[in-house]
Chain A
Amino acid sequence: EVQLVESGGDLVQSGGSLRLSCAASGFTFSSYAMNWVRQAPGKGLEWVSCIIGNGDDTYYADSVKGRFTISRDNSKNTLYLQMTGLRADDTAVYYCANGVDNGWYYFDYWGLGTQVTVSS
């Protein structure tokens, strides 16, 4: 059974930094791209970043490019999101998600999310 468990969310001041983690199990982690998707309070879903299985290629939404860095440790089956220069509009629940069943175009599995709150 695929499981994704996020952690690391916290209350942080504007301009601060935070690192999120996503522990994965139930599938061959190194074979699949992984994503971060966020949801601001009362708002819709926003894709944030993607990293391919071997970590060689990464992709970012324009809203976080240059401030966030996605990475992975395939020996630990863990995905990371290093967030710097945090702003109030980064406040959201951050989900890790992947497309194990139907390809990297979609998000088959989601974690429960971790809350990031940026105070101004």
Chain B
Amino acid sequence: IVLTQSPGTLSLSPGDSATLSCRASQSVRNNYLAWYQQKPGQSPRLLIYTASYRAAGIPDRFSGSGSGTDFTLTITRLEPEDFAVYYCQLHGTSLWTFGQGTKVEI
């Protein structure tokens, strides 16, 4: 399964809302779809798992939705620390697959 993220780059301001898309080439079994945030020089951090469940310690301005082949990460009220690269990831027949990433920049 191939994951395609869009847009490649999102240019926004603090306080804006961000909508990131992740589309799978086939239906994602049991919605085993996650979102990660990665800041420059840091390891990725799990934000959302199983499409819509927030990982421990993740602020509620991050939310995930979707099913089947189309998934969305929404970030409301962008904080300065939210500007980063976001990856979606699935577990399926090809084991673990990541999307190519969306950069959210100021």
Main secondary structure of the interface of B (DSSP, over half): strand
Residue in A47, A101, A102 whose beta carbon sits within 8 Å of that of B95 in the complex = A47
Interface residues of A in 89-120 (CB under 8 A from B): 95, 101-102, 104-108, 110-113
Question: Are A105's CB and B56's CB within 8 A?
Answer: no
Chain B interface (Cβ < 8 Å from any Cβ of A): 32, 34, 36, 38, 43-46, 49-50, 53, 55-56, 87, 89, 91, 95-101
Residues on B with beta carbons closer than 8 Å to the beta carbon of A111 = 43
Q: With A101-B55, A108-B46 given, is the CB distance from A46 to B98 under 8 Å?
A: yes
Main secondary structure of the interface of A (DSSP, over half): loop
A64 to B12, CA, bound (A): 38
The total of Cβ contacts below 8 Å across the A-B interface reads: 57
Question: Are B44's CB and A107's CB within 8 A?
Answer: yes
Residue in B32, B36, B45, B98 whose beta carbon sits within 8 Å of that of A105 in the complex = B32
A35 within 8 A of B: yes
Question: Are B49's CB and A44's CB within 8 A?
Answer: no
Residues on B with beta carbons closer than 8 Å to the beta carbon of A110 = 43-45
Q: How large is the interface on A (under 10, 10 to 19, 20 to 34, 35 or more residues)?
A: 20 to 34
Q: A48's closest neighbor in chain B, by CB?
A: B96
Residues on A with beta carbons closer than 8 Å to the beta carbon of B43 = 95, 110-113
Known: A44-B87, A106-B89, A108-B55; 20 extra A-B contacts, CB below 8 A, are: A35-B96, A44-B99, A44-B100, A44-B101, A45-B44, A45-B89, A47-B96, A47-B97, A50-B96, A95-B43, A101-B56, A102-B49, A102-B53, A105-B49, A105-B50, A105-B91, A107-B44, A107-B46, A107-B89, A110-B45
